[in-house]
């Protein structure tokens, strides 16, 4: 039986209401995220990307604007369902880009705008509506190459990966 939830006349899979969205992106991240990296906004240790250092004020003194430093830069940054909670997502992505080494990978997993409950006027924890095309344009114009952005998955989310120039 497929458990569902309903919001505003739309049905969604129940698993979307339980947190830990990153588990749907992990298989893809394992293909491109190697070395020393960060998981920004993981919320708890058991939800973080394997071998990543967690960046979350629930867990330590770091947050999306204040990252731990690594002199040679980080090999990757993984972040799932975090950017939509941050007021100035462009500045945050600039901070993350600057923390990566040349050739480092940025892996984003974000809520797709067609999921009504996750829109900021329905879910007040979210302050942004992020569209795949906007994320793709930002990455292409702000120091990244090999930019790939997916369409919506069955978790009503999308992935964006890019390599810092």
115-134 average pLDDT score: 94
User: Domains along the chain?
Assistant: 20-164 (3.40.50.150)
Give DSSP secondary structure letters for 75-144.
EEEEEES-GGG-S-HHHHHHHHHHHEEEEEEEEEEEE-TT-GGGSTTT-TT------HHHHHHHHHHTTE
Q: Say whether 5 sits in a helix, a strand or coil.
A: strand
**For 13-54, what is each residue's pLDDT tens digit?**
999 999 999 999 999 999 999 999 999 999 999 999 999 999
d(C-alpha 143, C-alpha 159), whole Å: 18
């Amino acid at each position: 039986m497929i458990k569902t939830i309903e919001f505003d006349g739309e049905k969604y899979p129940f698993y979307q209401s339980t947190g830990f969205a990153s588990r749907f992106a992990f298989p893809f991240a394992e293909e491109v995220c190697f070395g020393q990296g960060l998981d920004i906004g993981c919320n708890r240790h058991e939800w973080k990307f394997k071998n990543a250092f967690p960046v979350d004020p629930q867990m330590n003194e770091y947050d999306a604007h204040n990252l731990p430093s690594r002199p040679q830069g980080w090999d990757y940054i993984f972040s799932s369902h975090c950017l939509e909670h941050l007021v100035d997502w462009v500045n945050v992505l600039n901070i993350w880009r600057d923390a990566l080494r040349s050739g480092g990978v940025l892996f984003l997993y974000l809520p797709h705008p067609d999921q009504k409950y996750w829109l900021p006027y329905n879910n007040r924890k979210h302050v942004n509506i992020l569209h795949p095309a906007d994320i793709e344009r930002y990455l292409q114009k702000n120091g990244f190459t090999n930019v790939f952005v997916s369409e919506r998955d069955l978790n009503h989310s999308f992935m964006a990966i890019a390599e810092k120039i």
